[in-house]
Chain A
Amino acid sequence: MEKSRPLWDNPLQFVFACISYAVGLGNVWRFPYLCQMYGGGGFLIPYFIMLIAEGMPLLYLELAVGQRMRQGSIGAWKIISPYLCGVGVASVIVSFFLSMYYNVINAWAFWYLFHSFQEPLPWATCPLNSNRTGYEEECEKTSTTQYFWYRQTLNISPSLEASGSVQWEQALCLTLAWLVVYLCILRGTESTGKVVYVTASLPYCVLIIYLIRGLTLHGAVNGLVYMFTPKLEQLSNPKTWISAATQIFFSLGLGFGSLIAFASYNEPSNNCERHAIIVSLINSTTSIFASIVTFSIYGFKATFNYESCISKVILLLMNAFDLEEGSLTADNLSEMKDYLMATHPQEYAQLSPQLKNCSLEAELDTAVQGTGLAFIIYSEAIKNMEVPQLYSVLYFVMLLMLGIGSMLGNTAAILTPLTDSRVIAARFPKEVISGVVCFINCVIGLIFTMEAGNYWFDIFNDYAATLSLLLIVLVETIAVCYIYGIRRFEKDLQTMIGRKPNWYWKVMWAFASPLLIISLFIFYLTDYILTGTLQYQAWDATQGQLVTKDYPGYALAVIGLLVAASTMCIPLGALVTFIRKRLKRESVPTVA
């Protein structure tokens, strides 16, 4: 009796799983930054063009391959062509790298979540120094939220070389994060299918709550107006188009093998074309939705900081010139400054280095992305809201849901090929295989909980997946269109869905998407070559800000290894298959 492949209980679970995987932290912390840098509302134009040109076609391709072949990435590409087993292996290796470092973000989200149950929030005030006469020096130089992130969460070392020790608090949170992931993938699609209902829908509830709260905050409109006014001149900047293409590409999570894994658990007659369109549209809409929330938070924070700056200047002037309270307000500040400059020139000159020019534009201009946006900027905005504990808990639960949803996809990409291979699956039940994978990842992930861990995190985040994925997806597209043959693929789709793909899909698969990926690839390579030495941002505790440093030699070696480990699999796989076929041909005697 043949053991049937586990299936999703209904197509909705599959769609939710894909949405949960694709809608991740990148939608929240990368898209708003790109929108701000590359022309505000105008960025949506290249974004949607790229969605249509590469996002939807490539997503449909991966889902169709997975659904047709009904195997994980290694098995699926082997069926397409035996020389392409390296592509599947490369996907698994990239997913492995990703799951190693991605769960650390969940650990940080847990840390902040557990610390949200205090009054006041721990990132709202600076801790006192040793003789209790003032605040900690490092905290004074920078802001309370930055201090909490860099010192109390990461306990970051001044450079990559100074590794420091493993932070036991972070290690505990990382272990918990892996236990949560294990709980969700323990029973395969049975458990994953139920979990994705929560991980896909809860972030939207929180985003809606934050949208309502964000739009009613004082100063939110400043942020929205500033960010969304289109700066159409940015459209002529090639970086805009490249960033749009990159964002669509990485946001959908193509090339990791997760989409193939999810689709392989589908019924063969599932309408993956419709699902591909739905998932990609929902992903892009969520990005825009999240950036509205982010911009209103930015506006609130910028207005708050601007008004504090003005109050500080007023206080300084009042104290220096012993003016009556209430005589200086935000409205008459500039006139009073001129008046004071005229009447007391010497004292004013002495005071002027301390008088900062407060500007709302300058506050709004600080563009942040990544962990900085998620953990520093948002927590800064939250501490100034009413009932900050509630909003803090909601926000970090949302980050957790987004992160765990993406982790489910990553681990599915690693586990599906393993459970498909009869060598391993026959001997060990899937609980044991999942457990071993989670355990290995957790132990390796302890590197990122060391004092220099955040620098290694940045290395993995920037280099582990970028080039390799572009190459993998390029090979995938070319393989399906030209090696497997687009007519054969058309027929397969017709068998599955009931109709052939129309000319839009075929044109995109055969020409547009590969061309786009090749141009992205060339751009990245030239960018790396032209920059020369790679640099990173290190936290300087004495100054209270980030400084740029060069990577040491061994870090560059690790970067090279990360990229090579996955990209080399593709030619190596083809080579190994070729050699194996040659050997088989030679060993089998020719039948007369």
Chain B
Amino acid sequence: MLRVLLLTLSVVAIAHAELCKPDAQNAFKVRLSIKTALGDNAYAWDANEEYLFKAMVAFAMRRYSSKSTTQISNVLLCNVTDRVSFWFVVTDSSKNVTTVPGSEVEAAIRLNRNRINSAFLLSDKTLQFLKITSTLSPPVEPSTPVWLIVFGVVLCLIVAGIVFLIVAGIQQRKKRNKESTERENLEEKGEVTVTVENGIPCEALDLKAGHINGVFAADDERFTSL
């Protein structure tokens, strides 16, 4: 009895070793970067975590196909390294000693990637299934690009400024023309005296404080010292 038990156990172990080894058919390599993702809160990878992993893969297989009856014992892990990386393979419970095709496993994992990631507090980058590419989420695109909105605002401001300045200029010119005709009329009547210097009215000249002309500044040197 004991011998039969030992024999079946060894057969199963050898079969498992046959099924799960690096680069085996339908086997996938997984790589975790726990310290990179969690820093000081990183947990250690031990047998319990491996159990959780097997459970998640079984869960993914069951969710993917309702017919599936994958058990935790169907998921085999091997070659666990310090990195933390390992190979896993899913055996078929109905047929003995065969593995579930890789495409099914891939599809199942792809579908449930989010759930698997969150179970380990990791992300697509830190929990890598080396042969399974993840679908990258596209960036959020608003309906009108943001830059057009800002462009529109600035454009409206500038055009408003231009229109304002042009209209103000036209009004100023009209006022000036009216003033000059009025002044001409008054000048003909001789009523307005406009102080004029060399044909230029004093208002147009610059009436700021006088500038010191350096040639005349050195006044005290003109007189010979006693």
Interface set of A (CB-CB < 8 Å, partner B): 1-2, 4, 7, 110-111, 113-115, 117-118, 125, 127-128, 132-135, 172-173, 176, 179-180, 182-183, 186-187, 191, 267, 269, 318-319, 322-327, 429, 431, 494, 497-499
> Interface code B187-226, partner A: CB below 8 Å = 1, 0 otherwise?
0000000000001110011100001111101000000000
Q: Size class of B's contact patch?
A: 35 or more
Tell me which residues across on chain A come within 8 A of B34, comparing CB atoms. Answer: 325
Binds A, one of B1-9, B47-55, B63-71, B150-158: B150-158
Q: Which residues of the other chain, A, contact B211 by a CB distance below 8 angstroms? A: 267, 269
Is B169 in contact with A179, judged by CB distance below 8 angstroms? no
Asked whether A325 lies within 8 Å of B35 as measured between CB atoms, the reply is yes
Q: Given that A325-B34, A325-B35 are contacting pairs, would A133 and B146 also be in contact in the complex, using a CB cutoff of 8 Å?
A: no
Closest 7 CB pairs of A and B: A498-B214, A114-B147, A322-B81, A324-B82, A322-B83, A325-B35, A4-B204
Give Cα A191–Cα B166 distance, bound, in whole angstroms: 12
Distance between Cα atoms of A117 and B161 in the complex (Å): 24
Q: A133-B136, A186-B165, A322-B82 are contacts. A7–B206 as well, Cβ < 8 Å? A: yes
CB-nearest residue of chain B relative to A3? B204
Q: Is the CB of B155 within 8 A of A183?
A: no
* B112 in contact (CB, < 8 A): no
CB-defined A-B contacts under 8 Å, sample of 8: A2-B199, A114-B150, A114-B151, A114-B154, A118-B146, A183-B162, A318-B83, A325-B35
Cβ distance A109 to chain B, nearest Cβ, rounded Å: 12
Across-interface contacts of A128 in B (CB, < 8 A): 136, 138-139
Report Cα–Cα, A489/B159, bound state, in Å. Answer: 45
B159 — nearest CB in chain A belongs to which residue? A179
Known A-B contacts A323-B82, A325-B33; A187 and B151 likewise in contact (beta carbons under 8 Å): no
A4 touches B82 (CB 8 A): no
Select from chain B the residue with minimum beta-carbon distance to A125. Answer: B139
Q: Kindly state whether residue B31 has any CB partner on chain A within 8 Å.
A: yes
* Shortest beta-carbon distance from A312 to chain B in Å: 13
Interface hub of A111, A114, A134, A176 (most chain B Cβ within 10 A): A114
Q: How many angstroms from the CA of A1 to the CA of B212 in the assembled complex?
A: 28
For A4, the closest partner residue in chain B by CB is B204
- The CA of A1 and the CA of B194, in the complex, are separated in Å by 11
Which of B159, B165, B212: most chain A Cβ within 10 A?
B165
B35-A172 in contact (CB<8A): no
CB distance from A148 to the nearest CB of B (A): 13
Q: A2-B199, A133-B136, A179-B155 are in contact. List 14 more A-B contacts (CB 8 A).
A: A1-B200, A1-B201, A114-B148, A117-B150, A132-B138, A176-B154, A183-B161, A183-B162, A186-B162, A186-B166, A187-B169, A269-B211, A322-B82, A325-B33
Measured in the bound complex, the distance between the Cα atoms of B52 and A324 in whole Å is 21
Asked whether B155 lies within 8 Å of A176 as measured between CB atoms, the reply is yes
Asked whether any CB of chain A lies closer than 8 Å to the CB of B143, the reply is no
Nearest chain B residue, comparing its CB with the CB of A268: B211
Q: Which residues of A contact B212 (CB under 8 A)?
A: 498
The docked-state distance in angstroms from the alpha carbon of A498 to that of B217 is 9
Q: Given that A172-B151, A319-B83 are known contacts, is A179 also in contact with B162, CB under 8 Å in the complex?
A: yes
How many angstroms from the CA of A182 to the CA of B169 in the assembled complex?
14
Q: How far is the CB of B11 from chain A (nearest CB, A)?
A: 30
Q: Is the CB of B169 within 8 A of A431?
A: yes
| Interface assignment of B41: CB less than 8 Å from any CB of chain A | no
Bound CA span A125–B139, Å: 10
In whole Å, how far is A70's beta carbon from the nearest beta carbon of chain B?
13
A183 contacts across to B, CB distance below 8 A: 158, 161-162, 165
Check A111/B147 contact, CB under 8 A, given A1-B199, A1-B200, A325-B34: yes
**CB-defined contacts of A179 to chain B, threshold 8 Å:** 155, 158-159, 162
Contact (Cβ within 8 A) B151 A176: yes
Question: Please, how many angstroms separate the alpha-carbon atoms of A499 and B218 in the complex?
Answer: 11
**Nearest-CB distance from B126 to chain A (Å)?**
10
Contact partners of B215 in chain A: CB under 8 A: 494, 498-499
Q: Write the nearest CB–CB distance from B109 to chain A, whole angstroms.
A: 15
Chain B, residues 173-197, CB within 8 Å of chain A (1/0): the string is 1000000100000000000000000
Q: Contacts of B144 on A, CB cut-off 8 Å? A: none
Chain B residues closer than 8 Å to A134, beta-carbon distance: 133, 136
Question: CB-CB < 8 A to B180: which residues of A?
Answer: 1
Q: How far in angstroms is the closest Cβ of chain B from A558?
A: 32
Q: If the complex has contacts A117-B146, A118-B146, A324-B83, are A431 and B166 also in contact, measured as CB distance less than 8 A? A: yes
**From residue A442, how far is it (CB to closest CB) to chain B in Å?**
14
Cβ of B96 under 8 Å from chain A: no
**Taking the nearest CB of chain B, how far is it from the CB of A540, in angstroms?**
26
Whole-angstrom CA separation of A23 from B170 in the bound complex = 34
Instruction: Judge whether B94 is part of the interface by a CB distance below 8 angstroms.
Output: no
Query: How distant is B177 from chain A, measured CB to nearest CB, in Å?
Result: 12
Cβ A173 vs Cβ B146 within 8 A: no
CB distance from A490 to the nearest CB of B (A): 13
B133: A residues at CB distance < 8 A = 133-134
Q: Tell me whether A180 and B135 are in contact (CB under 8 A).
A: no
Residues of A within 8 Å of B205, CB to CB, are 4
Docked-complex contact B135 and A133, CB < 8 angstroms: yes
CA distance A247 to B208 in the complex (A): 39
What separation, in Å, do the CA atoms of A47 and B29 have in the docked complex? 61
Nearest CB of chain A from residue B104's CB, rounded to whole Å: 20
**Cβ proximity bits B15-38 to A, threshold 8 Å, 1 near / 0 not:** 000000000000000010111100
Given contacts A2-B199, A183-B162, A324-B83, contact A117 B147 (CB under 8 A): yes
| B85 beta carbon closer than 8 Å to chain A | yes
Q: Which residue of B lies closest to A114 (CB)?
A: B147
Instruction: List the B side residues contacting A4 at CB < 8 Å.
Output: 200, 204-205
Partner of B31, one of A176, A191, A319, A326: A319
A2 touches B200 (CB 8 A): yes
Chain B residues near A429 (CB, 8 Å)?
A: 169, 173
Contact call A269/B213, Cβ cutoff below 8 A: yes
Residues of B close to A115: CB separation below 8 A = 146-147
The complex places the Cα of A1 from the Cα of B171 at a distance, in Å, of 21
Q: Which residues of A contact B151 (CB under 8 A)?
A: 110, 114, 172-173, 176
